[in-house]
Amino acid sequence: MNQIIPMTRFLRQNLSTITSYRRIISMNANQIRFCSQDKRNDDTKTNRKQIERENRDRRIPVELDTSIRYMKSDAFKETYQDYKIWELFRRNFKGQFSPAVPRLSCVGDDGFVKTSNPCAICRDRYLVLHHKNIELLRQFISPHTGYVYSNSILCLCHEQYEKLCVAVTLAKNYGYIDFEVPHRHYDYQYHYKL
Ligand SMILES: [Zn+2]
């Protein structure tokens, strides 16, 4: 079994950039920011480069069991606290308005993360989208409607959003996730006339 590494540095750094927007709003987010800054001073330059390269590496995918255990672990709670995975994520963009079209993929052809601002799922290697990973899928489903949130809210890349939609549909079909069938209204007056 693979050992779960608590809070990858890449995720921390990424959260630090995101949380700067929420500095005044939430104290929890601030703690993550300071945490990442303290750790950064300990390492030498070469070590830092190696760790950064390892964190960007997505050539060997994480197993499903590991991901399911990660969702229940203390490392997960420490990283995201009470927020949902996508809640503190902000996509970087140039200019005044956010781009209407999502990025095609955060991972390049060589298997490494190619952007410095990967989406909420690509930035954490332990998040594996699968129809059996229910804890993860529930984060993206609205409790009011039962549907997956729009990608304008989630800001995932196109590849991961497609995987998410497929996983949620499969989970509903296999019965892993409960959902309500929409109410149908029948006009019985039409039948009485016949
Ligand atoms: Zn992505």
CB atoms under 10 Å from CB of 114, counted, come to 15
Number of structural domains (the chain) is 1
- Ligand 1 centroid distance, CA of 12 (Å): 17
**The pLDDT of residue 168:** 96
Average pLDDT over residues 137-143: 94
Owning domain of residue 127: 9-91+99-174
Judged on CB neighbours under 10 Å (0-12, 13-18, 19+), 106 is: buried
- According to DSSP, residue 120 is labeled T
- 158: in domain: yes
- Ligand 1 centroid distance, CA of 19 (Å): 19
Nearest to 123 by CA among 43, 52, 44: 52
**The pLDDT of residue 57:** 87
**The pLDDT of residue 33:** 40
How many residues make up the chain in this entry?
194
**The pLDDT of residue 98:** 81
Mean pLDDT is highest, among 2-11, 28-37, 67-76, for 67-76
- Ligand 1 centroid distance, CA of 56 (Å): 12
pLDDT digits (tens, 9 = 90+) for 70-104: 899 888 888 888 889 998 888 888 889 888 899 99
Which residues pair with residue 57 across a beta bridge? 112
- 52: in domain: yes
- 146: in domain: yes
Q: Which residues surround ligand 1, an ion (CB under 5 A)?
A: 106, 119, 122, 157, 160
- 186: in domain: no
- 183: in domain: no
- The model's confidence at residue 3, banded by pLDDT at 50, 70 and 90, is low
- 184: in domain: no
- 151: in domain: yes
Residue 50 to residue 120: CA distance in whole angstroms: 23
Whether 164 and 140 have beta carbons less than 8 Å apart is answered as: yes
- 118: in domain: yes
For the cut 70, the answer to whether the pLDDT of residue 18 exceeds it is: no
Helix (H) or strand (E) segment spanning residue 134: helix 134-138
- Ligand 1 centroid distance, CA of 103 (Å): 8
